[in-house]
Structure 1
């Protein structure tokens, strides 16, 4: 049988975008390396072709192809709900047309990267074209979509009609199976390429805390800033670095929070903006604690990298860590428990300063095997080949 075409529908596609965007490019490249034929369809924001020169797969800019049709909608000044309804009609029509142009005689499967957004459009397109659909559950699909009265209905419809639903964690799959007992599920966690060297904190006083979650409501950055302030108020010599960008629409709030933190804590806080992977690895290796108060994850590449480097961690019990029996250098607190996060950060810092903390190297070895890229990409290639072959 010929190698299958894998049509990947995603909302936006930029090499320096969020984690899901970077992961989509890595997946398409890995599938191509394994003999499949990936095509990426960017359905929400236009693609800058200068950023994608040399990509070993085709990228279809559905958003730009939709633009001439929606010009009257912009001019009409429609209320947001009506505008989005009309745009969804265009997104469906354009994706169906572009995907249909690329269908050949060989097997094909459609993969979508966010079930409650582009995944719903992909569901409608695969329904119209008679193609198998494999939706991927993003973290927000579960932590927001599954738990609100509007998106929940869309999520359940997409999953119910799918050939296989891929979750990033057992937490997602366990909950959805209760509502969709006839649906096939697979769990494929996000992988990371762990550097050869592990954590090596240089000698020095105090506690260095690092987070690469940016400034975001859903990542709990405000709770982290509060916990750091409480730590210093309690007499702990601590430093905090938070890298990354502001969540869209929240820029003014986070700018004010950074100014306040700098006024109160001076040079003990550092906000360097976005960093590349090599810079993040260097910061992690030199840190005492990795911290994330996130409200939810599918499978966090940032946390996986810290786990594979053996960095002590304070984070919330969700996503890939929801069912974890944590080693001693990993502290898990319930989601949305700000006092619990404060206390966990305080006690972990105290254990480090008191010399009571030991890194569990056996657990670190296990994380490095668990989050190995070959394992993730082989699982995806095998699953998509099987779905395409079954037709």
Structure 2
């Protein structure tokens, strides 16, 4: 049989589909078929790196049956990058080859992917087979592809349709309709290591991750689970293959126990799979099939992977692998811990894995696909059409397979419904709605102010500002940041007496934290600056809770400063007359917060006894957090460091207060709004920024300035202009100090954002090492 295999993806940027098609070609050739593989090919040059965002193609020599379709461009899709060709050369070469190549069957992979697959489907004059590799739940994208781009019409031309898994069949039937047979991806058992695996023990476990450093692949989740596993006393080693150190670095907090191998050859990958005790595949979704799982099975290695649709077709729970909830580092860590302490179980699962791999052996898979080819040829012969029917078939207006119509329809989800998923989904929706509502309110307030006040008036007020005083305010803001850094340095020295805390690290942390707070609609500034310092103090994961606890000390000092500002505000404007009780509450807030932090660990220890399991777990977690926070208050037990930290933190607020007043002078508003108005503005913008809905709290910031300054007799136009200038000075300060600090730390904004998002520690509910030893002794 003469077969044309068509892949839309680059041969030198291999992914799951590309490797599947190449292995299928080898399998069919081994059966005696005449095969040609058509796919794009990117040479290793500068243009290829430019077209793929700096990623180099792999140096893969083309086999004799390969026909190049030219270059590709990398396009983000489904949480990954699709390397597709759109060149006239590809269209011309493939069209002529498919029409005039004398093939018995044309097998198109991903018929919905532009442009190569479409050309093959349109040009074919022989039986046409299509394989669907994708699992996707994004309705908007799939509807656009199926209707606007005509993929559904292309599918009508297929004489047989294959899905590589139930997940891929669900996607195809949901969005494109039709009838599909499931034929899984194959694995080369002959190339897999067949010797005995290295001996395993209960105190040491070798983990392996194979894949790209993409969030969709779940590498950040695995790294957090791995750190928790080592924290639970397991001597674990993690090898990351398929990603470079530069790609993995943004997700790492510390490198101990982690080996990054970068890009590896197929032979090296097989060896790593054989040497590993467990292969980890913590993908978050979007996987139609687990090729790395079948490769692990072929090497005799069990897997721990996410319980997602594409993986459940491969893994038999408890026999050759363990399924855990996707995106749950604690569940992943606990599953790895259970396997790490039970080498006998790992050995049983390894034997089952080798047996399971037989189902996916390429000779068997190639034979199943050849049977599909034969059915396609039979169907094409049975449906010899009239001229009118021929036109309908060529146009894709009727199905070429002759089977009953099966239009796209709603199908129940095949993803597992996890306990509490509805509650978590409702919380996520409520959070997004709240953030969107806050952002809309801020933008709406700004737009309303612009409409009522008038843009011309605001621009005139901005231009009337004295540049020298604006520069003075900018300098004062910078000085305020330095004072805050000095205060935090004293707090860190008290909390970490055995560590060498450098001033420049504390200063960089403060400045980077301000930059992150100014550019993101969430309070990532605090964890960002804690990460910067913790990574400089040895074992980052051990230091991070204490460093985070030191932020409590600064927060309490900030509350004291806000109480002072609030007192000045209440005393200088009549807006709050008759509400003197609010003054007492504001003044008492710092002391109440300090009392809560000090007393909470003692109180929580006495409540929620162990017989109330869930309540005890929650209170224990809160208590540990409070203990870490209380360690951050250690500075107040050292008179010298405590007084210095308080003086510098309050000085920072005082300098910032002076900067706010300087901007009033710059706009000529100091005769109406004096030092009390500056205190009121500083108080208001900090209170409204507790939970920022937009980056830098844009909109709400200006509204707070207008509301406060109006009470001091300042017109709305001047007050709005003041809010714009004040925020501009704060953002300029954040960038002027934060960007050089990021460069000094050798990090990018994206790197720090990823680390901050994945910085929270994971706690495993597992027995500690002493409990395990007692259990062994008892046994």
What is residue 142 of structure 2 aligned with on the other side? 151
Say yes or no: does 1:117 pair with 2:113: yes
Deviation at 1:356, TM superposition (A): 5.8
Aligned with residue 22 of structure 1, among 11, 19, 42:
19
- Cα displacement (A) at 1:46: 5.5
Match of 1:280 among 263, 269, 272: 269
What is residue 335 of structure 2 aligned with on the other side?
Answer: 344
Q: Which residue of 1 aligns with 2:130?
A: 135
Q: Paired residue for 1:165? A: 161
**Which of the numbers 268, 279, 282 marks the counterpart of 1:293?**
282
- Where do 5+ consecutive residues of structure 2 fail to align? 45-56, 77-83, 381-779
Structure 2 matches for 1:294-333, cutoff 5 A? 294=283, 295-318=285-308, 321-323=311-313, 324-328=315-319, 330-333=321-324
8 Å CA contact 2:282–2:305 kept in 1: the answer is yes
CA distance in 1, matches of 2:40, 2:271: 35
Give the C-alpha shift of residue 11 in structure 1. Answer: 1.8
1:174-193 Cα distance to aligned partner (Å, 9 max, x none): 45335555433332332232
Q: Does 1:269 align with 2:269?
A: no
Secondary structure of 2:20's aligned partner: helix
- The answer (yes or no) to whether the contact 1:41–1:62 under 8 Å persists in 2 is no
**Greater relative contact order: 1 or 2 (C-alpha under 8 angstroms, separation 6 or more)?**
1
Q: Post-superposition shift, 1:13?
A: 0.9
Question: Looking at CA atoms only, which structure, 1 or 2, has the larger radius of gyration?
Answer: 2
Is the CA contact 1:329–1:360 (under 8 Å) kept in the aligned structure 2? Answer: yes
Comparing both structures, which one devotes a greater share of its residues to strand? 1
1:52 aligns with 2:61: yes
Deviations for 1:222-273, whole angstroms, at most 9, x for unmatched residues?
1111110111122222111111125xxxx86633334x332xx2xx211111
Q: Aligned partners of 1:105, 1:206: CA distance in 2, in Å?
A: 56
Task: Select which of 3, 6, 10 maps to 1:5.
Answer: 3
Q: Cα distance, 1:306 vs. partner?
A: 1.7
Q: How many residues are matched? A: 350
Counterparts in 2 of 1:34 and 1:298: CA distance versus 1, 3 Å: same
SS at structure 2 position matched to 1:150: helix
- Residues of 1 paired with 2:341 and 2:200: CA distance? 18
8 Å CA contact retained: 1:32, 1:56: no
CA contact (8 A) 2:221 2:329 kept: yes
- C-alpha distance in 2 between matches for 1:178 and 1:217: 26
Q: 1:90 to 1:204 in 2, by over 3 A?
A: closer
Q: CA deviation at 1:36?
A: 3.1
Structure with the higher fraction of residues in helix conformation: 2
Q: Return the TM-score normalized by structure 1.
A: 0.75
Q: How does 1:89-238 map to 2 (within 5 A)?
A: 91=87, 94-95=90-91, 98-104=94-100, 106-118=102-114, 121-127=116-122, 129-138=124-133, 141-143=134-136, 146-154=137-145, 157=152, 158-174=154-170, 176-177=172-173, 182-193=178-189, 194-201=192-199, 205-238=203-236
Q: Is the 8 A contact 2:99 2:125 kept in 1?
A: no
Q: Deviations over 1:186-240 (max 9, x none)?
A: 3233223233225333668422211122422221111111110111122222111
Mapped partners of 2:248, 2:324: distance in 1 = 24
Task: Point out where structure 1 has 5 or more consecutive residues left out of the alignment.
Answer: 68-79, 81-87
* Alpha-carbon distance between aligned partners in 2 of 1:320 and 1:196, rounded to the nearest angstrom: 27
CA distance in 2, matches of 1:366, 1:202: 20
Give the aligned partner of residue 371 of structure 2: 382
Say whether the 8 Å CA contact 1:8–1:113 is kept in structure 2.
Answer: yes
